[in-house]
Amino acid sequence: MHHLALIPLVKLVGYPGIFAIIFLESGVFFGFFLPGASILFTAGLLSSQGFFNIWTLIPLVAFAAILGDSAGYWFGAKVGYRIFLRPDSRFFKHAYLEQAKVFYERHGVYAVILARFVPFVRTFAPIVAGVVKMRYRTFLAYNVVGALLWGAGIAFLGYYLAVRVPLIGNYVGPIVIVIIIASLVPLVWKLRHEPQK
């Protein structure tokens, strides 16, 4: 979605719409197509213009992100795992579940926190965490940290940059791409330098 089209959309949906979008994209499987990061940045930008209150927006989006991830986790834990109880098929194999489980055991913090910054992945990461039975207390801790860094962080970044650089609104798309790439660097570094087993 073009960044200029986001501004009237975010104004139209207001706080309830922003909450719903972040909730759905954070862990409800059909919300994967929603532009969560762009919405957050645009909402922060509009806060600098007085359209939203940034100190209301930040806890709102963080709470929506935490609830969305938790909903995704419990969906995976209660429903998603049943897919893997069926015999192996072309797309669903027990080996995939075991591989995902090993990945979450070894990279749980990265899988949950950094997945927030990657479109599509952030929707499905909590569902997979539930499917592989990642310990919920551990998941919740990473969920909260990820929600604060991604939800609150990107909204505040939009606000801060708009205050400092008034024309920043013309570059929402490229800024979101830079955020995604920068957030992947630690995970790529860890994977490249981890000893092979």
What's the token pair of residue 157? 């970044």
Cα–Cα distance for residue pair 8/10, rounded to 1 Å: 6
Of the pLDDT bands very low, low, confident and very high (cuts 50, 70, 90), residue 94 is low
The pLDDT value given to residue 189: 61
pTM over 0.85: no
pLDDT digits (tens, 9 = 90+) for 96-120: 666 666 667 776 677 788 788 877 7
Domain ranges within the chain, ordered by starting residue: 3-193
Model confidence at 4: pLDDT above 60:
no
CB 80 within 8 A of CB 145: no
pLDDT digits (tens, 9 = 90+) for 46-70: 999 899 999 999 999 999 999 999 9
CB 122 within 8 A of CB 40: no
Would the CA dihedral through 71, 124, 28, 9 be positive or negative? positive
pLDDT digits (tens, 9 = 90+) for 153-193: 999 998 998 888 877 766 777 777 777 676 666 656 655 65
The pLDDT value given to residue 69: 94
The pLDDT value given to residue 1: 47
What's the token pair of residue 85? 């109880």
